[in-house]
Amino acid sequence: MPSGTDNDAICNRLEEMLRGIVYKHTISTSSVGILLSGGLDSSILAALSSSSMSEVLALCIGHGDAQDTKYARIVADRFRMRLLIKHVSIDEMLYAVREIIRIMRSFDPMEVRNSIVLYLAMKELKEYCLHVITGDGCDEIFAGYSYMLRMSREQLEYELTRLERIMHFSSLAIADDLGMSVSLPYLDLLDYAKSIPVELKVNEYEGKRYGKFVLRSCFEHIIGKDIAWRVKMPMEQGANTSILSNYLASLVSDEYLARRSKEYLDRDRVRIRSKEHLYYYEIYRGMFGAPYLMDSSSGGSSSGIGNARCSECNAYVSSDARFCRVCGAFPITPIPV
């Protein structure tokens, strides 16, 4: 980040605040687990928590030659942290799929695939500790998503405001279901993050455009350049759970997809988008029934409660929703009820 009095002050304040926040979330318990992907968000938390008084256990999960396991080892070695690597099988992922659909009341493929990582990691950590720290919220408040790199200043400001209003994290529901507690330290930075200019959240470094620019710049001296400027990877890609999409597609024939898609559109008012989507919907349907049958006061962390219906699955959504948390459709046209 270009040097300057204001920028230096931002970095000093960010480090001071986040160090204090992490200390607060780790000092209250004798044993803490951290979900370590080796990406920017979790690596900063790992670095800061490694100097706390509590024993912090890092855990990374992945399938096959997942990139996250490689980077997690680098970070753990750098900060002398105890690290557990959990290699997960297809069968373990399929078990987690059912649990995620049950907990989140969603058959959104991206939600399911990303939450698989969280569920299996937390389930493993529960054998060692009941409190876990995650990097959730960092992308939402520091502009970490790749689609934000193409936005103008005005678009980015609007998007960050919109995300603040709608952001939700499956880690909270998963931890609750497993009888664990979870801390999301970055959310404690929300008010201060809103005061940081957006050009410090998305900017260029060595000819490449990056989100979370200010965090990368400010913590590079602590976590190392290789980690600070690691390219953002969606959770499912870093852990290699994204292979589940092709695996599930191999289980479903084209004829079955066509027949079931028509049946569910006619009978349940649900538009199926892929073989993976069909697989998840049939599990969801077996647990909860068709979304249009859902009562507007139904429980569940992703029940889609609102005053309109999703145009793709007929679950309840808010009248200004663009995305359906139940089926994962985007963009949607909410149907007034």
pLDDT confidence of 93, banded at 50, 70, 90?
Answer: very high
Distance, CA of 158 to CA of 155 (rounded, Å) = 5
Asked if residues 104 and 171 have their Cβ atoms less than 8 Å apart, the reply is no
pLDDT in tens, 102-140: 999 999 999 999 999 999 999 999 999 999 999 999 999
What is the rounded (10 degree) CA torsion for 150, 152, 157, 158? Answer: -80
pLDDT at 296 over 70: no
From the candidate CATH numbers 3.90.1150.10, 3.30.450.40, 3.40.50.620, 3.40.50.2030, the one assigned to the domain spanning 5-242: 3.40.50.620
* pLDDT at res. 5: 52
Of the CA atoms within 13 Å of residue 330, those in its CB half-sphere come to: 8
Banded model confidence at residue 300, pLDDT cuts 50, 70, 90:
very low
Which pLDDT does position 52 carry in this prediction?
A: 73
Please calculate the CA angle 194-12-82 and round it to the nearest 5 degrees.
Answer: 95
Q: What average pLDDT does the structure give for the chain?
A: 93
Q: Angle at CA 305, nearest 5°, toward 301 and 311?
A: 115
Domain chopping of the chain, boundaries: 5-242, 253-336
Is residue 199 classed exposed, middle or buried when 0-12, 13-18 and 19+ CB atoms within 10 A define those classes? exposed
Between 337 and 309, the higher pLDDT residue: 309
Q: Has residue 54 got a pLDDT over 70?
A: no
pLDDT at 169: 96
Output the pLDDT for position 1: 59
**pLDDT at 166 (0 to 100):** 87
